[in-house]
Chain A
Amino acid sequence: MRDARILPWILAQPARTAMLDARGWTALLAIAQAERLLGSLAHRLIGINVPPSARRVLDGALLSAETGRTQALWEGEMARRAFAPLGCPVILLKGTAFVAAGLSAGLGRQIGDLDILVPRDRLDAVEAALLDAGWEWVKPDAYDDSYYRTHMHELPPLIHRDRDTMIDVHHTILPLTARITPDADAMIAAAVQLENGLFSLSPEDMLIHAVAHLFADGDLSGGLRNLWDMDRLIRDHGGTEGYWKRLHERSARHGMTRHLSRALRLCHHLFETPVDPYLAWEGRKGDVFYLGRLLARNGWGQEARKPLRLAFYIWSHWIRMPPLQLARHLWTKWRKNQAKA
């Protein structure tokens, strides 16, 4: 198998597994594992008749996801307790938000660090509260620390000294140096409160945040999982009255219309997601490269299409920083590595 097409093909319509032979199954499982979608796949295949040895692998992934879900919710609760005296809302992002809000995107999802969004003017208080509650800096390096603080959209990562878990505190959506600047204040103002006292973004902002994360903040690694999140969000919310109109307005406000449009097309292509054709129309050039990059993995789970991967890697840096600044950053990093070696 030369690319990862089989994974979205099965995720879109699980009944297609009836057509898989042993080789196809093994490739599917390895690719899903490498794309961190094995738990999501396992959830998708509940109730489908699959060979016993594949079932065992999928059941393992479900067990893993369930433990991950419990731990993610607990981390969210720990953050809520740490911030309770500040009276500042804690807005969950990404995986933790999906499971806390009971969304389909959270089913079987592998969740890494706890990502939260807080108002920028409360950042000092938030930082102090976290240090007080047992979180510690991961990167004690002075350059990295100042780099995060002047140029990034989040604090340097913190790790909890007892639980060994990481928290990423975002104060805006994209790096301060990025070319697009989504309106974080508007997202915070529109956040909705969950049953457990924590907050999540509004349905429209949640999708736009996922889009921003995919296209403007990375080289598309993990992109299939990101697009699968979007597919699930659209299927949960897309039928709500006025969703697409609000989505359009919101994306315009955040300067994300073209990115949103591309994400919708890619979702539709990969997962047969029902999308608004009008919104998905803008800026079709280049989709083929994106698809090539997203599916750049073979049946052994290996990274494929190295030159295309490299091109996206360079591009991701280019759009995150002005060229002179990028050069300075890479130079400093390189010299530090030399000094270490």
Chain B
Amino acid sequence: MRHQFSVKVGPVGFRVGSAWRAPVAALRHLYAQYPQPDGGITDFTVRLEPETMLRRWVRQSVAIEGDFMLPGAVPMALRHGLLAAEMGMNLQMAMGQRHFLLLHASSVERGGKVLIITGESGSGKSTLSALLGERGWRFMGDEFALIDPLTGLAHPFPRPISLKNEAIMVMADRVGAGRMGPLLADTPKGDIRHLIPSADALANMMVPGVPALILFPRFGHAAEVRTMGTSEVFVRLTQASTNYVALGERGFGALTRLVTQVPVRAIDYPDTESAIALVDQLWAELA
């Protein structure tokens, strides 16, 4: 393809081909500090193509294609090409990853132990992991936690953190513009701006950790901690996993081990400061 980019994120190599220059230029900026895929061979291919030949030039729109594709996916505006590339990489992982059980979750590590934060969109898991990553934790990922079915360890997948709407200001003030990607305004998910993980997170992107605590946060309620039954956790994590079914028995084994060995809490929080306080408290008690 005309414009090409490749990168290694955690244990996974990607290549992205694009019909236009802009998305690849944005990727190069955002991933400047990331390594290249091992031996130049990639796990997954993503292609950003015009929906039809005409759409390369007129009312340009980007169709997300690659090794794995979602039939009927809506093409995106070219100015959101970076987001299209990110979604394309997520899609390859979600549909094609077979070495790890994927949980739609963010994760951070301290002292070799991993905190996994899962929950629906808008629960604040990206923002929480980004904040913790600036407060002495090692950021491991804000999109997928990778659980190795053989060892039970959680592996990092430290992609640039996708911050949305209000979270953008909070983090940009804290880390400075040098670690922020371009503002993608009015995407289907609102305003999005990426935060480049810290140097420490990138240097240790191949270092896994032992899952030590799983949290299901919920934003917008008075601070509260609730326990959850093992069966409920199991079912909710199957829903949070993109490849639980595809992994067959290995997926069942990995998830069973996780929910029986790792403590789980649901937390409500009214603002980020109280969320951090709850995390510190539960980590001290349980992890």
Contact = CB atoms under 8 A, between A and B. Distances in A.
- Same complex for A and B? Answer yes
Interface of A: 21-23, 25-26, 29-30, 33-34, 51-54, 56-57, 59-61, 63-64, 67, 70-71, 300-302
8 contacts: A22-B40, A23-B40, A30-B67, A33-B45, A33-B67, A57-B41, A57-B43, A63-B98
A113 to B, nearest CB: 16
A301 B43 CA distance: 13
A64 B39 contact: no
Contact of B1 (A26, A51, A67, A300): A300
Contact of B47 (A22, A29, A57, A300): A300
B41 A26 contact: yes
A57 B12 CA distance: 10
Given A60-B98, A300-B45, A67 B40 contact: no
Nearest to B11: A56
B248 A302 contact: no
Q: How large is the interface on B (under 10, 10 to 19, 20 to 34, 35 or more residues)?
A: 20 to 34
B98 A26 contact: no
Which 6 residue pairs across A and B have the least CB separation, nearest first? A22-B40, A67-B248, A60-B98, A53-B38, A53-B41, A33-B67
A301 B41 contact: no
Contacts, number: 70
B276 interface: no
Interface string B217-238: 0000000000000000000000
Nearest to B42: A26
Contacts of B39: 22, 51-54
Given A22-B39, A29-B42, A60-B96, 4 more contacts: A26-B15, A53-B43, A70-B248, A301-B67
Given A26-B15, A60-B97, A54 B1 contact: no
B99 A60 contact: yes
A301 B45 contact: yes
B22 interface: no
A51 B40 CA distance: 10
Identify the interface centre among A53, A56, A63: most chain B CB within 10 Å of its CB: A53
A185 to B, nearest CB: 37
B197 interface: no
Contacts of A30: 45, 67
Contacts of A70: 248-249
A33 B17 CA distance: 16
B201 to A, nearest CB: 22
Contacts of B65: 302
A301 B38 CA distance: 21
A67 B247 contact: yes
B41 A64 contact: no
Interface string B190-219: 000000000000000000000000000000
B225 to A, nearest CB: 36
Majority SS at the chain A contact face: helix
Contact of A29 (B11, B41, B98): B41
Contact of A53 (B13, B49, B67): B13
Interface of B: 1, 11, 13, 15, 17, 37-43, 45, 47, 49, 65-67, 96-99, 246-250
Contact of B38 (A29, A52, A302): A52
A33 B42 CA distance: 13
Contacts of B97: 60
Contacts of A51: 38-39, 41
A64 B248 CA distance: 9
Contacts of A53: 13, 37-39, 41-43
A300 B43 CA distance: 13
A73 to B, nearest CB: 12
A29 B99 CA distance: 17
A191 to B, nearest CB: 30
Nearest to A50: B41
Contacts of B47: 300-302
Nearest to A24: B41
Nearest to B245: A164
A26 B67 contact: no
Nearest to A71: B248
A53 B39 CA distance: 7
Contacts of A25: 41
A263 B100 CA distance: 40
Given A67-B246, A67-B247, A70-B248, A26 B45 contact: yes
B171 to A, nearest CB: 33
A30 B45 CA distance: 7
Contacts of B248: 67, 70-71
Identify the interface centre among B11, B37, B41: most chain A CB within 10 Å of its CB: B41
Contacts of B249: 67, 70
B50 to A, nearest CB: 12
Contacts of B15: 26
Contacts of A59: 99
A242 B246 CA distance: 42
Contacts of A57: 41, 43
A38 to B, nearest CB: 9
A290 B37 CA distance: 36
Nearest to B248: A67
A326 to B, nearest CB: 25
A266 B47 CA distance: 30
A25 B6 CA distance: 14
B67 A34 contact: yes
